[in-house]
Structure 1
Amino acid sequence: MITRNPSSTVSRFLDAHLRRDAQTRELSVARFMSILSAICVVVAAALGPAMGWDLTFALMGLSAVLSGYYACMWWVLRSGAFHPAIPWLNVFIEVSIPAVVLTFDLRYQGPVYALTAPTLVIWGTLVTLAGLRSNPRLGLAAGALVAAEYLALYFGFVRPLLPDQPLVTLGPLFICVRAFFFVATGALTATLARHFLERTKSALAALREQEVMGKYVLHERLGAGGMAEVYRATYSPEGGFEKQVALKRILPSYADDAAFVTMFRREAELCSSLYHPNIVQVFDLGRHGGTYFLAMEYVDGLPLSALLKPRNRRPLPVSAATFLAAELASALDYLHRRTSADGVPLRLVHRDLNPPNILVSRIGEVKLSDFGIARDAVRAHLTVAGSVRGKLGYMAPEQAMGRDIDGRADLFALGLTLHEALTGQRALSGHSEEVLLRAAVDQEVVPPSQLNPAVPLALDLIVMSLLQKDPERRTPNGAALRQQLLALDGPAAPYPHGQAELARVARDTKTLAEQLTVDTVETLAVGKPPVVRSA
């Protein structure tokens, strides 16, 4: 496969990164300026006898106001609020500080002192700092603003107070030259900032060339497992068409693991044949740079495990949990009834349904992912007889014991997941792998209403029917489960409010994660090592 000019995508990626970084940058500036302004209050007070107390009090008042402003700005930015106009406002205030100081000097010390005071030296520095905010236009604007303020103050207020024969360096010609240097400083800073950004883009483009897998340009990593990792990527073929995808690739150190590569290809083959709104779709399978990758549907959201984890083990709203279960029941019904092209039942079993493999988008969509260890009747020989595959603590008794399984094993896992969503606690627990492996057989699960009084009796019965240890007594299929859930009424009804409630929780969780700068995204359809455990 040939790389298709990722430079425009890289440019947009860098621009987006700098925009996201603007809030952090302004937060640092606000903290620094608040502390510096507070220090200036003390310094001005110490210089009072030398400068005169009238000027000292004016400078102390200005420093106190600036310290208060930047403290408030720091608090606002720290709370997560940000607007693109904030850097422009801060630059306007920063480069205008010497103009205010010049006005004070003129008022209390006279025109000659005002034009020669040491504080004016920082004007050029502030122009330079404005241009270093990764936006060349800020440098240009700062230089032009400083020149305009300087000329306006000179010709409007200072010059009429100067002696008839002032020093040459205080005459209009030299003042205009200084103003020109301010503009030139802004232009030079903008040029350097633009050059820096262009070189950064070039370096990033060269680096991204190593991270472009065919027509896929990689962005941030979404998750990683022991043998594979997942990135958000842009599918960018010729013609300007672009599509966001999740790109999963085998770690290079495992690219030669024949068993894992077989499982990886099997997942791509199986998922590419599944078309259901509640199942993550696979678009492509390829090899690049010595490793395999597959491109999947990108879900802008979080795994269910992330929704449950930061809630201090609190449950989901009941309607959100029943909506989640109803959507997954539809996906399982489709999966279990899937047939081959000639109508032969495939008897597909997911075998790994658990919160990290259930994705919830910002608008409340529910997607089942990670079919790496899914099994069908045709390839049942890939699973060693008497072996166990799946996530400990989410397996049906027959699966944990290494016996023959069918779709009802997935329904048991869904029952455990629904129980956890309703209670905020894992239904099965254990201090070791051996205990967790036998938990489905040995442990009794209490009805969710005993842990969450908001769960009605009808929903209790649905969950406990899913958790029957004997498959023959368990809810028979996803269609039957969905009908039971749709029959619920009141606050437990999955429709019409369940999706909105689930979306609200997903958005709140993702916003919290972004504000705390904590990556709560767990493994997103990342393959797991093909562990074989004896029952």
Structure 2
Amino acid sequence: MRAPLQAALKREMHALDLFAVRAWLASSALGAGLGAFIAATASMELGLAGCAVAGPYALWFAFVHQRLLAGPISPGLDLVNSVIEGSLTWVLFLVILFVQGAPYALASWVPPMFFALTVFGLTLRMRARAAVITGVVGAVVFLGAHLLLARPRMPAELADLVIFGMGVQLSRTFTLVALGVLAAMAVGSLRRAIGRAEVSAREHDLFGKYRLVREIAKGGMAAVFEAQYCPEGGFERKVAIKRIHPHLAEQEKFVDFFRSEAAISSRLSHPNIVVVLDFGRVDGKYFLSMEYVDGATLHALTREDPEPLPVGVVAAIGMEMLAGLQHAHQGALGADGRPLHVVHRDLCPQNVLVSTNGEVKISDFEVARALRDSGTDQTNTVVGHLAYISPEQASGEAVDMRSDLFALGVILWELLAGRSLFRRDNDAATLAALMYDPIPDLGRATVDPAWDVFLGKSLARDPARRFPDAGRMAAALAELPGADDPAALGALAQRVRAHVARVRPEAPLGDDAETRVEPKLPTGRHHALTLE
């Protein structure tokens, strides 16, 4: 059975453990209440005995319930709990034996019913070893109780009846062991059946060399999946698969555009850029295979906790992103060795991933176009989240690398301020704020005014007044007060790990990703504004 299925089964078994212990807790509480009723109305001795048995069991199951609420219990505690569950049958048998007598104890339906429920519960929770132990221990206890306690107390006139004879009791003993063994065999069969079902499902889930695990996000152009790379060699690697929608795969021009952008993205090899690994087609479906980043988007982190980030953490995020942009803008080379000059054009918190190790990576360069391959030094295509695009991009004018630097300035401003800079209630208001509203100061007493000067230059509406490239913007950022914090990325990683711990498995990574409109095939001066 494969690790992902094992993990899923473990989660389901934990839920069943909670259900079982709640059932035992309810039964114990009911037994105590019933004992009190019997003591008051019928038999004081029997009622008090019932209360004496049910009370300690109720306390134990309450303790186990609290431990289970905190997470899966240890194997040792689980085994002890299974033994205590199994002991209830024989404690009840002994109570009936001492209170009602040997004939009543051997003929009562209560102990066999509890034994059957116990074994059934262990089988349902796939506790093969516990089922065998319950059967063997139950057989030993029953046979010992019969020989040492029940048989000497059996009235002479009943001792010779077949139902109370030694042969019947030995058959009962054998039945208890057999039930435990059969339950263990049933658990083994269930596990094998689940394994075969997983193999069958895996065959259906295979997408070429990849096994799709779950859908992370979906947009207008493609769906993104967590996947396992499963080559014939047998090793596996976790990746992300972006699979374009079938109706787009039928458009030849769009496929050509997608293929060219994939080729560009594959040239962007940098620690701060999500690496594109593969491009291909399976059963008519085109896909892009990318590096899988275990963490969260910057958008998810700030949406969960909108409070401003520490200056050092913001500076560290900015430095990491600028390193990635510097590579895309000026460092990435084409097959001919010439610079590609790739502009992202959709830089926003949703496209910035932060790993659980504190790595900052820019994603979705697939929507970018190489300036060199566009035939000019600039491109007129407008695409992106409206609250983060540059004014020239919003106007449909030509853009260059400085457009990405403007978007980064917006991100840094929002991380420091803890609020949106340009986003408003509707598109028109957002666009008007982007084009005309003055850039407010951060308004944080703990942030040096030099940051306002830096952000003012980053967010200049005239590209000529901005930093000319990512390298010089990074140099200016490094000189700002509070920017040099060696513990910043560690603090960021801790924040990401805390976020991931809260959202998984109930809300897997990617649920935070909004559904957004992806760009159509650009023709001329195409406008595809995408709102956050």
Structure 2 residue 496 is the aligned partner of structure 1 residue 506:
yes
What letter matches 1:510 in structure 2?
V
Aligned positions of 1:53-202 closer than 5 A: 53-80=44-71, 82-85=73-76, 87-120=78-111, 121-163=113-155, 165=159, 167-202=161-196
Query: Could you say if the C-alpha distance between residues 290 and 111 of structure 1 is closer, same or farther in structure 2, counting changes exceeding 3 Å?
Result: same
Given that 1:228 and 1:528 are in contact with CA atoms closer than 8 Å, whether structure 2 keeps it comes out as no
Deviates more, 1:427-436 or 1:350-359: 427-436
Query: For the residues of structure 1 that align with 2:340 and 2:242, how far apart are their CA atoms?
Result: 25
Secondary structure class of the residue paired with 1:238: coil
1:309 aligns with 2:303: yes
* Matched positions, count: 520
Corresponding residue number in structure 1 for 2:475: 483
How do 1:162-311 residues align onto structure 2 when only pairs under 5 Å count? 162-163=154-155, 165=159, 167-311=161-305
Query: How far off its partner does 1:50 sit?
Result: 6.8
Taking structure 1 as reference, are residues 201 and 57 closer, same or farther at Cα in structure 2, changes over 3 Å only?
same
Counterparts of residues 367-386 of structure 1 (less than 5 Å): 367-380=361-374
State the distance in 1 between where 2:150 and 2:193 align: 44
Which residue does 2:33 correspond to in 1? 42
> Quick one: which amino acid aligns to residue 495 of structure 2?
V
Report deviation, 1:394: 0.9
Kept in 2, the 8 Å contact 1:284–1:296? The answer is yes
**Higher mean Cα deviation, 391-400 or 372-381?**
372-381
Percent identity for Structure 1 against Structure 2: 33
Shift, 1:393, TM fit: 0.6
Contact 2:142–2:173 at 8 Å: present in 1 too? yes
Instruction: In structure 1, give the amino acid aligned to 2:45.
Output: D
2:400 is equivalent to residue 400 of structure 1: no
Q: Give distance in 2, aligned partners of 1:208 and 1:435.
A: 49
CA shift, 1:502, in A, is 0.5
2-side partners of 1:381 and 1:162: how far apart? 103
In structure 1, give the amino acid aligned to 2:346: D
Deviates more, 1:53-62 or 1:499-508: 53-62
Map Cα deviations across residues 500-523 of structure 1 (whole Å, 9 max, x no partner): 1001110111111127x2346247
The one-letter amino acid paired with 2:456 is M
Structure 1's 214 and 16: CA in aligned 2 closer, same or farther, altered over 3 A? Answer: same
Bigger-Rg structure (1/2): 2
Greater CA deviation, 435-444 or 282-291?
435-444
Identify the match of residue 518 of structure 1 among 501, 504, 507. 507
Equivalent pair of 1:216/1:235 in contact (CA under 8 Å): yes
- SS of equivalent to 2:366: coil
Higher mean alpha-carbon deviation, 390-399 vs 95-104, is at: 95-104
Q: Structure 1: which amino acid aligns with 2:527?
A: R
Paired residue for 1:5?
none
After TM superposition, the structure 1 stretch with the greater mean CA deviation from structure 2, 473-482 or 374-383, is: 374-383
Equivalent-residue separation in structure 2 for 1:189 and 1:382 (angstroms): 73
Moved more, 95-104 or 390-399: 95-104
CA distance, structure 2, for counterparts of residue 530 and residue 393 of structure 1: 16
- Aligned residue type for 2:272: N
CA distance in 2 between counterparts of 1:79 and 1:55 reads: 37
* Preserved CA contact (<8 Å) 1:317 1:501: no
Amino acid at match of 1:349: V
Deviation string 1:186-211 (CA, Å, 9 cap, x unpaired) is 22223233323322332332222121
> In the superposition, relative to structure 1, how do residues 392 and 93 fare at CA in structure 2: closer, same or farther (>3 Å)?
farther
Of residues 116-125 and 32-41 in structure 1, the stretch that sits farther from structure 2 once superposed is 32-41
Question: Contact 1:388/1:534 (CA < 8 Å) preserved in 2?
Answer: yes
Instruction: Output one character per residue of 1:219-246: Cα deviation in whole Å (capped at 9) or x when no partner.
Output: 1222222332222222122233221111
- What's the CA shift string for 1:284-313, capped at 9, x where partnerless? 1121122111211111111111111122x2
Q: Check the 8 A contact 2:35/2:49 in 1, yes or no.
A: no
Structure 1 counterpart SS, 2:388: coil
Aligned counterparts of 2:210 and 2:284: Cα–Cα separation in 1: 16
Q: Deviations over 1:255-284 (max 9, x none)?
A: 224454334323321221111111111111
- 1:386-465 → structure 2 map (5 Å cutoff): 387-448=381-442, 450=443, 452-465=444-457
After TM superposition, give the deviation of residue 388 of structure 1 in Å: 2.0
2:358 and 2:379 map into 1 onto residues whose CA distance is 39
More off after superposition, 207-216 vs 437-446: 437-446
Is 468-477 or 108-117 further displaced after alignment?
108-117
> Which amino acid is 2:57 matched to?
L
- Quick one: higher RCO (CA 8 Å, sep 6+), 1 or 2? 1
In the other structure, the counterpart of 2:519 is 530
**Aligned partners of 1:152, 1:465: CA distance in 2, in Å?**
88
The equivalent residue for 1:493 is 483
Amino acid corresponding to residue 481 of structure 1 in structure 2:
M
Partner of 1:335: 328
CA–CA distance in 1 between the matches of 2:301 and 2:135?
A: 48
Task: Report the TM-score, using the length of structure 1 for normalisation.
Answer: 0.88
Asked if the contact 1:370/1:526 (under 8 Å) is kept, the reply is no
Moved more, 338-347 or 473-482: 338-347
Q: Distance in 2 between matches of 1:273 and 1:385?
A: 19
Question: 1:333 deviation in Å?
Answer: 0.8
The Cα offsets for residues 424-483 of structure 1, whole Å up to 9 and x where unpaired, read as 3222112222332343212333233x1x44333333333333222221221222222322
Residue identity in the other structure for 1:279:
I
Q: Does 1:25 align with 2:16?
A: yes
- Give me the TM-score of the superposition, normalised by structure 2: 0.88
